[in-house]
Amino acid sequence: MSKIELPSAAAQQPPGPLTPCWSCKGPVDARALFCHTCGAVQPPRGIDHFARLALPAMFEIPIADLERRYFGFQRYLHPDRFAVKSAKEKAISQQQAAALNEAYEVLKNPLTRGAYLLGLKGNPLPGDGQTVNDPELLMEAMETREALADAKDAASLKGIADRARGDFETAQRRLATAFAEDDLEGARRTVLRLRYLEKFRDELRARAINIAQGK
């Protein structure tokens, strides 16, 4: 995996539209996190999760880069930095930190990141619980669930779990390839399959607990 090109200070975008700072009322760049005149924290703006963490909108993001940005922004914006500030500043930092948390949660998991990226590219997925129209996936789901129901001991369960983990990793790699090749239809199918595999993993876990308890 290659390291992400970070925008340097020199290669910055030109000043964006101006908006009045809520605190000193002077002009501030609409993208600003802090007012350059009075230093007041500014409310979060509606940008996508990648932009929120200053990351390129692409599937393959090194987790180390994601976390460095997330922790770095939180160091400036977390409410703990505003504990002795005015109520308004506290409230804004809360909003900023919540926006960062949401971005981080969505982007750190390859499945939610893939689904989100598809949405950004104008290819949204059906919501949870809606029918998936993929006969191959439905067939696979039926077979694995049958195997799960038939598993009566920890050993046979482990076999199923190992296979499921392998499937999951393969699907993740396929998703990366699909995005790299800009094959959005393939990416979409793979995300749906990953969604199913994740649900199956939860079922496996529940079954493992039941078997351990002798049920």
Partner 1 sequence: MLLEIHEPGASPLPHADDVGVAVGIDLGTTNTVVAYAHAGKPEALRDPDGVALIPSIVAYRESSQATVGEEARRLLLDNPHNVVSSIKRLMGRGIADVKALGGTLPYIVEPGTGKNSMVQLRIAGKARSPVEISAEILRAARARAEQALGRTVDRAVITVPAYFDDAARTATRDAARVAGLEVLRLVNEPTAAALAYGLDKHAEGVFAVYDLGGGTFDFSLLRLEKGVFQVLATGGDAALGGDDFDHAVAEHFLADRKAQGKPLAMDAGEVKLALASARLAKECLSRQAEGVWSLDIGDLPSRHRLDVAGLEGLIAPFVARTMAICRGVLADAGMGVDGVKGVVLVGGSTRVPLVRREVEALFGQPPLQDIDPDEVVALGAALQAEALTVGSDTLLLDVTPLSLGIETIGGLVEKIVPRNTPIPVSLAQEFTTYQDSQTGMALHVVQGEREKVEDCRSLARFELLGIPPMTAGAARIKVSFSVDADGLLTVSALEKTTGMSQHVEVKPSYGLDDAAMERMLRDSIEHAASDMSERLLTEARVDARRVTLALDAALSADGDLLAGHERHQIDAARTRLVLAAEGGDRDAIAAAMEGLESIVKPFAEKRMDRGIRQALTGVEVERLAAKIG
Binding segment for partner 1 among 15-23, 111-119, 157-165, 191-199 (CB under 8 A)?
15-23
24 binds Zn ion (CB under 5 A): yes
31 binds partner 1 (CB under 8 A): yes
172 binds partner 1 (CB under 8 A): no
80 CB contacts (<8 Å, ≥6 apart)?
A: none
* Token pair belonging to 125: 């997925």
15 binds partner 1 (CB under 8 A): yes
How is 158-204 classified by DSSP, letter by letter? HHHHHHHHHHHHHHHHHHHHHHHTT-HHHHHHHHHHHHHHHHHHHHH
**The binder of partner 1 chosen from 40, 66, 106, 187 (CB under 8 A):** 40
27 CB contacts (<8 Å, ≥6 apart)?
A: 18, 19, 20, 21
> Helix 154-180 vs helix 184-212: angle between axes, to the nearest 10 degrees?
160
Binding segment for Zn ion among 13-21, 44-52, 56-64, 172-180 (CB under 5 A)?
13-21
CB under 5 to 8 A by kind: which of Zn ion, partner 1, none does 188 bind?
none
Q: Within a 10 A sphere around the Cβ of 164, how many other Cβ atoms?
A: 19
CB of 117 to partner 1, least distance (A): 19
Distance separating alpha carbons of residues 40 and 33, to the nearest angstrom: 8
* DSSP-based three-state secondary structure for 27: strand
CB of 89 to Zn ion, least distance (A): 11
207 CB contacts (<8 Å, ≥6 apart)?
A: 148, 151, 157
67 contacts 53 by C-beta, under 8 angstroms: no
40 versus 187: smaller Cβ distance to partner 1? 40
Length of the chain measured in residues: 215
CB under 5 to 8 A by kind: which of Zn ion, partner 1, none does 78 bind?
partner 1
**The binder of partner 1 chosen from 49, 61, 66, 79 (CB under 8 A):** 79
73 binds partner 1 (CB under 8 A): yes
**The binder of partner 1 chosen from 1, 57, 98, 149 (CB under 8 A):** 98
Residues engaged in binding partner 1 (CB under 8 A): 6-9, 12-13, 15-16, 18, 20-21, 23-29, 31-40, 42, 47, 51-54, 68-69, 71-76, 78-80, 83-92, 94-95, 97-99, 101-102, 104-105, 205
Residues forming the site for Zn ion (CB under 5 A): 21, 23-24, 35, 37-38, 40
